[in-house]
Chain A
Amino acid sequence: MQNNFEEKNISFLNEKNQEINISCNEKINLNLVDNFDGELTIFLQKDSICNLRIFYKENKNSLVLRTFLSENAELNVYFADFSIGNSSLSANSILYGNEAKSTFKYSSISKNNDAKNYHISFSHIGEKTISNLEGYSVNMNESKLKVEGVSHIEKNSIKSKAHQKIKGILFDKESVAIANPILKIDCDDIEASHACAIGSLNDNHLFYLLSRGLPLKDARKLITFGYLNPIVEYFDEKDKEELKTIIEREFN
């Protein structure tokens, strides 16, 4: 990804709870892949940057993520949930320092009666803090997804911004995706928005691709790939390939 970033892999093999402290001005990429059921707490000191990539692949995963952002700290979470089976994630970001910035992006595939649950929340305490939630999901074969996004801008958090965008495609009538974006605003001088769109594959998009000669299966695959693809760019080469392979596999 960016230059001058320290790379670190996190594992939950030995202990259930982990704490990471990122010191002032430090830049770090953290990678978390599979096999976890635990809590991760990250403290971001002044002016630090952390990119956290979370990749749910094979097994049932469950993560509780707590992050604390000091002044001008920046946290970017990239969450790819392509796992088989049920999974959950709860992430809370506390932006207590002024101008702290927290972004959470996810892409998710659910299938075969999977039930997935995400709860992503941001607490804006400092002034001029920014939070962004952006997510894309695909549900197939009677699977269920529940996403709750909560952005809370507290009383003194002036000039803060909170945005949420949740999108989802349902491939069959039996699948369910519930998105619940919540904005709690206790301060006047702020900017906030949420957009939520869950539905079946866009008919116009589909017709366009078909009209150029693509068979239905390929057209669906291309649209879905395009939909989930944005998350892929945040991962390193090895994971990128794997993410692509998984998306391919779903359609063959």
Chain B
Amino acid sequence: MVILDHIQKIFHQDTPNENQALNNLSLKIEDGDFITVIGSNGAGKSTMLNAMAGVFPINKGKIVLDGKDITNLAEHKRAAFIGRVFQDPMLGTSPSMTIEENLSMAYARPRNMSLHWGLDFYRRKIFKDYLKDIPLGLENRLSTKVKLLSGGQRQSLTLIMATMKKPKLLLLDEHTAALDPKTAILVNNLTQKIVYKNKITTIMVTHNLEHAIKMGNRLIMMHKGNIVMDIKGEEKSTMTIPRLLNKFEQLQGEKFVDDRVMLA
């Protein structure tokens, strides 16, 4: 279980650019939750994920994971139990290293500063088996450098790397937004398959309202650094896009504006 307890994040504090990106936000994530997150541009979705991953310190509040306070734990230490996939396909992998070398770093997590060989026969075999799961033909290209892969291939690889050692929490930040629609579907299917098969607690930010409604067991909407809607169970499974937009307008008294949002 993960608890965000009244967290606050202010960028550029005490400057003219001061910007309260998270505003006393609280959220309780149950084990096995698959939460989709929507919200207009600048609502603080990425900031919430970054705060959980420890990219920056937060100004106020507490982050607790399985009863342990991790508010002040360094980013690379949280990586032992948090897996991430970013929006930019360039961010999740090391481009000038090969597919198998990238996988090896994920496989060794969190003990990946050891003097153990990065690759051996046994590991290569495991990596092949992982890659067979995705219909991209990567299992025969283990020694290809990642910079030669397409965006979809990289995101699939990053997803495998993020979940290879089952994380307690998987953070997906619009990880299909930069892909063409066909590839996005492929990566989304892979996401569902991995998340359900391994029962990984997941938070997925998306701009695609249809995905947000169809995927996962819980949907939250963010606005101005806070959570303004949190639906689950039957309310979620019977939700439609028009009702979602309607609900937002009722809550906020303003239209859900986001030029990037995909309604279908």
Q: Do A and B come from one complex?
A: no
Query: Which A residues lie at the B interface, using CB under 8 A?
Result: none
